[in-house]
Structure 1
Amino acid sequence: MSIPTSTYVLESSIVNAPLSATWHKIKLGDFASWWSALKSSSAVKGADAEADLYSWEFNDGTKLQVKQEEHSSINHSITYSVVSAEPALTYSSVVSKIELSPITSGPLEGSTYVSWSGNFSSDADAGVIEDARFKRKEALADLAKAASV
């Protein structure tokens, strides 16, 4: 019996670095340079010119092909979806979005607010959502370390 759960996840963090330093790390092909869970991340060569496809290989051997759906230098956001996975995913789809905003006043002025959301298909179970939440928290901590240097 499955446990009913929300299929939306959102994690956020403050990165103690300016928006410009943080934003330049948010490129799907460069995620392995700061996300410790990734063994490699790179553009898929020979991909259709209309599709910005990237290959992510995690340290546990999981391989994802992700498609950049939107990239906005004006809004400082990137949206991507998973188009294939090895081993196969246990759910139909997920669309994720990373958004950055500068903190412009107060004690954290000069820092960056980062949110990372995921909208999963209705067949994603509670384990999938918790795993996504954990991975985002871990990745945001890694991003904070990398951008603060």
Structure 2
Amino acid sequence: MASSIPTSTFVIESAVIEAPLSSVWRLIKLQDFAKFWSKLEKSECVKGASEETDVVKWTFKDGTVLEVKQEELSSIDHFITYSVITSKPALSYTAVVSTVKCYAVTSGKHEGHTFVTWTGNFSSDADAGVIEDARFKRSEALADLANAASKK
């Protein structure tokens, strides 16, 4: 009988981005992630999705294709929540719901910058390798976001 290593199924990565909230937030649309995330070849709206459902296809440079569904968006609280609804190749776990949230830094040495968190809440069948990969990808994507947001 194989034993599995207990692991958290939640990941959070964060960064202070040296750009104002408006410069960061304008990039946080599912269909625009390819504008900053270097791992993405393209991101495009899925035709035929229902009017109430925003579905975007992310094609990664390694050939992975994900369809992600926007679950919630707030331009007041500056966050977007999305879930993966299809994957080619198939995922090794059942589900993940992710949220990107932006906060204006209003005082201190980072005043005028943006604090960003990117979480992932995975189903209980996600193993430690999935969680570490998610942590690494979010960290890389936040660095890419910082580069894109700071460009004039």
* Both proteins in one fold, TM over 0.5: yes
In the alignment, which residue of structure 2 is the partner of 1:87? 89
What secondary structure sits across from 2:101 in the alignment?
strand
1:128 aligned residue (127, 130, 133):
130
Point out where structure 1 has 5 or more consecutive residues left out of the alignment.
none
State the alpha-carbon separation in 2 of the partners of residues 46 and 3 from structure 1: 41
Alignment of 1:1-149 (within 5 A): 1-149=3-151
Percent identity among equivalent residues?
63
Q: Which digits, 9 at most, give the CA deviation of each residue in 1:47-98, with x for residues without a partner?
A: 1111100000111100000000000001000000000000000000000000
What secondary structure sits across from 1:29 in the alignment?
helix
State the alpha-carbon separation in 2 of the partners of residues 23 and 33 from structure 1: 13
Point out where structure 2 has 5 or more consecutive residues left out of the alignment.
none
Counterpart AA for 1:116 = W
What secondary structure sits across from 2:146 in the alignment?
helix
Q: Displaced runs of 4+ in structure 1, greater than 3 A?
A: none
Q: How many pairs align?
A: 149
State the alpha-carbon separation in 1 of the partners of residues 121 and 48 from structure 2: 28
Counterpart AA for 1:20 = S
What is the aligned-residue RMSD (CA, Å)?
Answer: 0.5
State the alpha-carbon separation in 1 of the partners of residues 57 and 129 from structure 2: 24
State the alpha-carbon separation in 2 of the partners of residues 33 and 21 from structure 1: 13
* 42-51 or 116-125: bigger deviation: 42-51
What secondary structure sits across from 2:66 in the alignment?
strand
